[in-house]
Amino acid sequence: MTAGKILQRADIFSGASYGSWSDQRVYFGLGNATRIDKIEIHWPSGVKQDISVGDVDRIYTVVKGKGVVASSGISSPAMCGSRSIDRTIPSESQG
């Protein structure tokens, strides 16, 4: 994810222990940025997907090969009022 001159990376690990799973949401703190310049997703299969989003302080659901399929507002920006974006990425087997 790139916003202004800030480049951030986040990895999702879907494995956990028996009877549990890991949260697949990724949060990016944007500081004073009011928009996202670029989001690039590298899927485990090797497929690279670039997506565009509109507003910050929203939750975006991304499906492999389809891009953003849903978005919703969040009740409060993440961590100390910083601007944020959250990519919720279903497992590759779902899309």
pLDDT reading at 20 higher than 70: yes
pLDDT in tens, 29-43: 888 888 888 899 998
Q: Which residue has the higher pLDDT, 1 or 17?
A: 1
The DSSP result for the chain, as a single string, is -EETTEE---------STT-----EEEEEEET--S--BEEEE-TTS-EEEE----SSEEEEEETTTEEEEEEE-SS-HHHH-EEEEEE---GGG-
86, pLDDT greater than 70: no
Residue ranges of domains in the chain: 2-7+24-94
- pLDDT above 90 coverage of the chain, percent: 15
Does the predicted TM-score (pTM) go above 0.95? no
Q: Residue 83 above 70 pLDDT?
A: no
